[in-house]
Amino acid sequence: MSTRTFQTFLSSPELQRLARVAQAQRQLDAQWRAALPAGLAGLSAVVGIQGECLLVATRSAAVATKLRQMEARLIMQLNDKGLKINAIRCRIQVEPLPHQQKAPKRTPVISPKALATINAAAESLPPSPLRDALAALVAKRRRKNSFE
């Protein structure tokens, strides 16, 4: 990307609009964290505003329950800071623990030489399900390799 194209991109209205949205989101999250007691400030984050409802995400049902208990006080504090909301909706977004996360599925790489060997082996077999399976494997891998 040339410098001129990059500068055009940086000054584009779309990027400027996104920057304003991101800045508003940061300010909203800062107001939210300032309204919370110190122990809860890092346990939730503002997702956005939908109408007059503040959407908040947390990873814990216990934190969501505590925020619901504090909802009236938090709404008053946020309204005093100029934010016009009348409700807070908590969403619990649980992330799997590292040992529960599935590893990305990897497709083994078969070299062109190995494919040729498998193909030769398939052609030397009499008609059978094994021969069909090997031929299908070779054809699939060759198609996949031609797209990469």
Low-confidence ranges of the chain (pLDDT < 70): 1-4, 6, 9, 96-100, 146-148
Read out DSSP for 59-97?
Answer: S-HHHHHHHHHTHHHHHHHHHHTT---SEEEEEE-PPPP
Q: pLDDT for 58-72, tens place per residue?
A: 988 999 999 999 999
53 three-state secondary structure: strand
CA separation (Å) from 77 to 37, 39, 43, 62, 88?
A: 12, 17, 19, 22, 12
pLDDT of residue 97: 58
Question: Would you give the DSSP letter of residue 110?
Answer: -
Specify the pLDDT at position 83: 86
Tell me what pLDDT residue 54 has: 93
- Given this model, what pLDDT does residue 96 score? 66
Residue for token digits 């062109």?
112
* Rounded Cα gap, residues 134 and 121, in angstroms: 8
